[in-house]
Every structure is written in C-alpha cells, then in structure tokens.
Amino acid sequence: MRYALLVTLRSVRIILPLALLAGAAAACGGDEFDSGDPGDKTITVYSGRSESLVAPVLEKFEQQSGMTVKVRYGSTAQMAAQIEEEGDKSPADIFFAQDAGALGAVAKRGLFAPLPSDVLAKVPANYQARSGEWVGVTGRSRVFAYNVDMVPRADLPKSVFDLTGPQWKDKVGVAPTNGSFQAFVTALRVQHGDAKAKEFLTGLKANGALIRESNIQIVQEINDGKLATGLVNHYYVFEQAKEKGITADQMKAKLHFFTGGDTGALVNVAGAGVLKKAATDPDAKALIDYLLSTEGQTYFANETFEYPLVAGVPTAPGLPALDSLAAPKIDLNDLDTLDETVKMIKEAGLA
C-alpha cells in the first residue's frame, strides 16, 4: 500500500507537468476568450449547422465587423441539448439551428430573448417565431427524390400519401431519426390530424419503407441506383453534385416537389435565436443582421442551395422559386409538439 502511494506520487511528479504541457498546448487551439460582456466585440455561437457550410459566412462577418466569433459546432439536437443542460450559465450568445423544431424547443424552455422588431421585419412572418424568439435565416423544402432511370416521370406520386400504395412497395427511403423528417410528420399531424398521420406512418412501414440514418445517405443511394426514391430535403442533391464536380441536372437523383399544398412539400427553416444573456448585446444583433443581409443571404443561396428568406435575393440556378412552390399552409410554430411525433414514429416501428 505504501509502495502504491509512493509510486503514484513519484509518477505524478513526472506525469503532471507533461499533462499540463499538453493541456496548455491544446488550450492554444481554443485561443480567444469571450468575456460574455455586451459590446466586447466577441460573440459565441452554438451552431447545429455544419462547419463547412457556416464557417465561410462567419469568417466574412468577422472581416467586415472586426469582431471575433467563437463557434461551437455539433448536430442541432446535440447543441439544443447542450444549451438546455447549461441553462442560464450557457456561454452561448446565439444558437444557429437546422430546424424550427429545435429552436422551438429552446424557446419553450424560456432561454431565448425576443428579437428586435427590425430584425423580424426582414423575414416573412410565417418563417419566424410567433413571439419573436427566433427568426428563419434560410428555407428548405421537403421533396421526393428519385432515380431518373428507375422511376419514369409519369409515375411520380401526386401526394405523399400515395407512397403507402403497392406501386411504391420497398422503394421509399426515409430517415426517421432526422429532424427534418420529424418536422414533416408533425406537419402531417397538424394538417390532417393524429389519426391520419399515424395511419400514414404505419402504412409506410408496412409498405417496406427503407430506413436510413441520414438524408445524405438516401440521396447517395438513389444516385448510385441502390435505392429508387426517398423523402428528403431539396438541397442534398445539389451538395452531392458539387462534391462530384457536376451540376445538379447531371445527377441521376432528381427532385420532385409535391404540389397543391401537400404536406410532402413542407418548407421548414434553418434559423437563429439570441440567448437571454445577450439580449441587449449589439454584437449578437450585428451577426443576426449580417445573416439576413443581402450578402449573407446570397452566400446561403449559392453555397448551401437553400432558399433565401429576405426579399430580393435570387435562389440558386436550377431551383424553382420559393414563392412558386405550393407549400402547405402550416405555421412553423405549431411544429413544437415533437414529443408526440417521436412517440408516433417509434410506435409505427420506424425508429
């Protein structure tokens, strides 16, 4: 026992300085410290959006404003959980999330401050929180993606409800653990009631829906001809075309937008909210303003292929205009009953 202690003490004397050195070296990677004071020219952003999509636009903002933006990247669910876990002590000033549901969840916990009216005025009212706690930055439409060699154009479904029919047996890929799919199911419940939504999910499962981990995977498999069709967001086909160095119309995976206000064409947002501690921080407001500026919106339109939400900014070539989409009339604020949706998805055996 004495030896144990002795060896430990000895080794600690050798190891601890080394550990401190390693820690110090690693700390250099994190560099500047955000004092958290308003107007200190430093803000901390928790981003549920990917670094490769968001970092360039934040860097531009830093250059123009002379501010330092510290960004924490993770999945939207992970960042929302982290903010809720941190509560009032969260180092975050801004939460930039990938769907309205996550923003709603954080708003429900009372962690967001209401945004100034001039910020909210920039974006149509249907793409922001009713009580002004978050604002949409870009739009993303749900689509039916299909492999052009495997599905003739004439056979494309009129409504998402057609997908439970025999002609789509074992052909439809879905990602039920993905936030966008869940928002779509919540929209189904809002638009058609719980009974019909449940019937659809059970029908989808019984029809041999193919469960995938992510939208990316679905689009990739469709493009490779391993999967015929799938329910995804519109921009993945463009992202993958970019990775392959081709244009979207050279891809085997094509987009079909449902029409006539079908729930399958739900338009959700990626958006941002300001946490309470930064309610009056001009720096935080400056960043939100930049994301909604012509320059910020143009970046998203051309680089992430999402729909700009501020009037006067054109969408990426190859995409139908946002106002030409026959999106269902659904209030994004009503998409905050995620618990019920999740329960339903689980009960249907999709997750």
Partner 1 sequence: MASAAAVGLALVPVAYLAVRTGEAGWTRIVDELFTRRVAVLAGRSLALAAVVTSACTAIGVGAAFLVTRTDLPARRFFGVVAALPLAVPTYVAGFAWISTVDRFEGFWPAALVLTLCSYPYVFLPVAAALAGGDPAQEEVSRSLGRGAWRTFASVTLRQVRPSIAAGALLVALYVLSDFGAVSIVRVDTFTRAIFTAFNVGFDRTGALVLSTVLVVLTVLLIGGELTTRARGARYARVGGAGRPPIRLPLRAARWPAAAALTAVAVLALGVPAASLARRLAEGVSRPGSLAEIATAAGNSLAVSLAGALLTMVLALPVGLLTARAPGPLATLLDRLTYVAHALPGVVIGLSLVFFGINVAYPLYQSVWLLALAYATLFLPLAVGAVAGAAAQSPPALEEVARSLGRGPAKVFRTVTLPLTLPGIAAGTALVFLTCMKELPATLLLRPTGMDTLATELWTHTSTASYAAAAPYAALLVGLAAVPTWFLSVRGGA
Q: Among 1, 154, 195, 321, which residue sits at the site for partner 1 (rule: CB under 8 A)?
A: 1
Q: What is d(CA 233, CA 136) in angstroms, rounded to the nearest whole number? A: 16
Residue with tokens 């025999």: 166
Q: Among 82, 202, 293, 333, which residue sits at the site for partner 1 (rule: CB under 8 A)?
A: 82
Determine, following the binding rule CB under 8 A, whether residue 37 of this chain makes contact with partner 1.
no
Q: From the CA atom positions of the chain, what is the Rg in Å?
A: 23
- 235/290 with CB nearer partner 1: 235
Q: For residue 174, give the H/E element and its range.
A: strand 172-174
Query: Token digits for 260?
Result: 């006539």
- 16/311 with CB nearer partner 1: 16
Determine, following the binding rule CB under 8 A, whether residue 250 of this chain makes contact with partner 1.
no
- 178/315 with CB nearer partner 1: 178
Determine, following the binding rule CB under 8 A, whether residue 105 of this chain makes contact with partner 1.
yes
Determine, following the binding rule CB under 8 A, whether residue 12 of this chain makes contact with partner 1.
yes
- 48/157 with CB nearer partner 1: 48
CB of 296 to partner 1, least distance (A): 19
Count of residues touching partner 1 (by CB under 8 A): 73
Whether the CB-CB separation of 304 and 235 falls below 8 Å is answered with: yes
What part of residues 256-315 is at the interface with partner 1 (CB under 8 A)?
A: none
Q: Among 128, 164, 180, 182, which residue sits at the site for partner 1 (rule: CB under 8 A)?
A: 182
Query: Token digits for 229?
Result: 């069709």
Helix/strand/coil (H/E/C) assignment for every residue in 185-251: HHHHHHHHCHHHHHHHHHHHHHCCCEECCCHHHHHHHHHCCCCCEEEEECCHHHHHHHHHCCCHHHC
Query: Token digits for 316?
Result: 């990426």
CB of 117 to partner 1, least distance (A): 29
Binding mask 201-240 for partner 1 (x = CB under 8 A): ----------xxxx-x---x-----x---------x--xx
Determine, following the binding rule CB under 8 A, whether residue 23 of this chain makes contact with partner 1.
yes
Whether the CB-CB separation of 63 and 57 falls below 8 Å is answered with: no
CB of 105 to partner 1, least distance (A): 5
Whether the CB-CB separation of 162 and 256 falls below 8 Å is answered with: no
Q: What is d(CA 107, CA 190) in angstroms, rounded to the nearest whole number? A: 20
Secondary structure of residue 69 in the 3-state scheme: strand
Determine, following the binding rule CB under 8 A, whether residue 74 of this chain makes contact with partner 1.
yes
Query: Token digits for 11?
Result: 């080794």
- 202/220 with CB nearer partner 1: 220
| Chain centroid to CA 134 | 14
**Angle, vertex CA 339, rays to CA 337 and CA 340, nearest 5:** 75
The DSSP secondary-structure symbol of 15 reads H
CB of 4 to partner 1, least distance (A): 4
How is 93-162 classified by DSSP, letter by letter?
Answer: SEEEESSHHHHHHHHHTT-EEPPPHHHHTTS-GGGB-TTSSEEEEEEEEEEEEEETTTS-GGG--SSGGG
CB of 67 to partner 1, least distance (A): 14
Q: Among 36, 91, 124, 203, which residue sits at the site for partner 1 (rule: CB under 8 A)?
A: 91
Determine, following the binding rule CB under 8 A, whether residue 70 of this chain makes contact with partner 1.
yes
Determine, following the binding rule CB under 8 A, whether residue 44 of this chain makes contact with partner 1.
yes
Q: Among 65, 75, 202, 302, which residue sits at the site for partner 1 (rule: CB under 8 A)?
A: 75
Q: Which stretch binds partner 1 (CB under 8 A): 46-54, 137-145, 252-260, 284-292?
A: 46-54
Q: Which stretch binds partner 1 (CB under 8 A): 87-95, 201-209, 273-281, 316-324?
A: 87-95
- 155/347 with CB nearer partner 1: 347
Q: Among 36, 62, 84, 202, which residue sits at the site for partner 1 (rule: CB under 8 A)?
A: 84
